[in-house]
Structure 1
Amino acid sequence: MSQTLSPAAPTDPAAARDWRTPLELGFLGVVWGCSFLFMRVAVPSFGPYALVELRLTLGALVLLPFLWRDRARFPLRRWPLLAGIGVLNSALPFLLFAWGAAHAPAAIGAITNAMTVLFTALIAFLFFGEKIGARRATALLVGFVGVLVLAAGKSAGLSVGPSALAGTSASLLYGIGYNLVKRHMSDLPPASSAAATLGCAAILLSPLAITHWPVAPVPANAWACAAALGVVCTGLAYLLYYRLIQRIGPARASTVTYLIPVFGALLAWAILGEPLTWTMLLAALLILGSVAVSQGVFRRR
């Protein structure tokens, strides 16, 4: 998951107490948790390049009507930046998570994805002059300790370190992309911008996808997972997320970050039979706890 845009806070304060909010947040947590399971199933048959190409293309197609509607707001001069952000915020992170899913349980990617919130604050501090404060700095250190704990673990006797590093790198790229979007694309409609960046990323990745397209027949379950990854976990999920942001604000909507690792790990355990280890649990507690501290959850309460 990438939190690509932050529209204005909701105009109706009662929206945050709407009964739909917890249901939609829970649904998003399940959908984005499932994305790691879908990658785990599909990537052995497709490989990372072809799978990510399908994900980008299908996600862009779902959102394409919004881009067509708002096409007048996307002059030619903005497209190079859109393409660059598409690579940083979609193509490369998706590739890293897909590669990681080919070498370790789905829970590894789901847990490291939560580092996006911390990396977003770090990049804003290092390159954009935003204050980070002692609380967030401490949270970052705790989060990195969680990544080290996760990387030190094993699954089926094999180290998950490379996959944990890949997922952490993907989250770092999400953090960079989020800051770029916040500063250069905040005046554009969210769904249309997502369609533009996903579409650009799909076009730029297509040569690699074509040269690495699977030669063996791809099973039906892998096709189904790839389609769900693009249509549901990318296109439709972005639409729901933007709708949530507009209704309850970005801070409240970002709480879905806490649900993704939980659902990702539990679904992979229940459906794929993948093990849940103590290092995964400890790492998840450290990373999610650090995210909660960085966002001031306990202080507000």
Structure 2
Amino acid sequence: MSRRRHAGAFLLTALLFGGTFVAVKAGLAYLPPLTFLAIRFDVGAVVLAGYAATRLSWSDLRPRTAGDVVAVLATGGLVVGLTNALLFVGQESTSSGVAAIVFSLNPILTVAAAAVLLPGRRPTRLGLLGTALGLVGVILVAGPTALLTGEAAGVPLLVGGAASIALGSVVIRWAEPTLSTTARTVWGVPLAALLSHGLAVAAGESLASVTLPPTALVAVAYVGVGSGAVAYLAYFALVDGVGPRRANLVFYAVPVVSTVGGWALLGERIGATALAGFAVVAAGFALLVAESVDRRRLQRLVYWHREGERAETRAEPRRAD
């Protein structure tokens, strides 16, 4: 059952985050980036507040440990707030495909952060190979030439966003919070909204210039409710369930969703290179799954070996009698 829940959370996160890049690009035609982001989190905070009021108690929401406070700050400040601020500003000068490519660096950056902050998380050769292969695949899906054109002008900001979500997810794991993923998200999204409003004011953006035609309203609704509330609930549940390194593999699937969404909604074509990229991504996932299975088998072997030693130790006095 837990595997099904994890698979469901993975698919939901990939679909909602993948559509975000298309929705952000559409909304930026009408809204300045940080104001757009602030409105997104305002909508998400209202949705989550309604959910918390009907489904959670104060006991569920109250931070109890220093780890809880650190996890809430990492959620709102790094994983949700700063990550999206850099994404929205960076995507002004990049295509949605390029943005999705850069964010697919997330698993690699997560492996690096986990190796530094989490004990016993050193990557294996098979895991590194699968990660690298997945990165090659997503580059093929979105188009390698885009990285060499003017479309990639916002790439440094997007790299910073990918690093922010990777670091934040590892910090949450390191903090060992007692708060549930839902509670951390309920606290984190309003915190991200405050951060976004502050950045918008600092950047000199004004609501007076904002117009909201139907396309902009749809974009705000999608990024506010879908990828601003529901997706984060699914994503943080995945982080808690399988760990940040494996959870962030979802960002390999995100460019695939973005490419298909661009084809279906914006009339973008999927060429032979993109289809080859799908195959390479699948191969990378296969290696990472194999690495995960090998680790579980090794853990089981170590467990049963230790249990056997304990059984022999307990049996020795009876043999002496």
- In the TM superposition, residue 179 of structure 1 has moved relative to its aligned partner by 0.8
Bigger radius of gyration among the two: 2
Match of 1:131 among 116, 122, 126: 122
Structure 2 residues not aligned, in runs of 5+: 295-321
Q: Where does residue 262 of structure 1 map in the other structure?
A: 256
Q: Say if 1:56 and 1:132 are closer, same or farther in 2 by CA, change over 3 A.
A: same
Q: Which has the higher contact order (CA 8 A, sep 6+)?
A: 1
Write the distance in 1 (CA, Å) between the matches of 2:118 and 2:247.
23
1:195 matched to 2:186? The reply is: yes
Structure 1 residues not aligned, in runs of 5+: 1-13
Secondary structure at 2:76's aligned position in 1?
helix
- In the TM superposition, residue 146 of structure 1 has moved relative to its aligned partner by 6.5
Q: Where does residue 232 of structure 1 map in the other structure?
A: 226
Q: Say if 1:240 and 1:173 are closer, same or farther in 2 by CA, change over 3 A.
A: closer
What RMSD over aligned residues (CA atoms) do the two structures have, in Å? 3.9
Match of 2:45 among 41, 60, 63: 60
- In the TM superposition, residue 290 of structure 1 has moved relative to its aligned partner by 4.4
2:102/2:158 contact within 8 Å kept? yes
What's the CA shift string for 1:173-193, capped at 9, x where partnerless?
111001111111532111111
Q: Say if 1:126 and 1:77 are closer, same or farther in 2 by CA, change over 3 A.
A: closer
Map 1:90-169; keep pairs closer than 5 Å: 90-129=80-119, 130-139=121-130, 142=133, 153-154=145-146, 158-169=149-160
Q: Where does residue 6 of structure 1 map in the other structure?
A: none
1:120/1:176 contact within 8 Å kept? yes
Map 1:198-213; keep pairs closer than 5 Å: 198-210=189-201, 211-213=204-206
1:151/1:164 contact within 8 Å kept? no
Instruction: Please give the TM-score of this superposition, normalised by the length of structure 1.
Output: 0.74
Secondary structure at 1:218's aligned position in 2?
coil
- In the TM superposition, residue 118 of structure 1 has moved relative to its aligned partner by 2.1
- In the TM superposition, residue 221 of structure 1 has moved relative to its aligned partner by 1.4
- In the TM superposition, residue 289 of structure 1 has moved relative to its aligned partner by 4.8
Secondary structure at 2:114's aligned position in 1?
helix
Secondary structure at 2:116's aligned position in 1?
helix
Equivalent position amino acid for 1:153 in 2: T
Instruction: Please give the TM-score of this superposition, normalised by the length of structure 2.
Output: 0.70
**Percent identical:** 20
1:220 matched to 2:207? The reply is: no
Q: Say if 1:89 and 1:203 are closer, same or farther in 2 by CA, change over 3 A.
A: same
Write the distance in 1 (CA, Å) between the matches of 2:282 and 2:32.
30
- In the TM superposition, residue 106 of structure 1 has moved relative to its aligned partner by 1.8
- In the TM superposition, residue 60 of structure 1 has moved relative to its aligned partner by 2.6
Equivalent position amino acid for 2:42 in 1: T
2:130/2:288 contact within 8 Å kept? yes
Equivalent position amino acid for 2:205 in 1: H
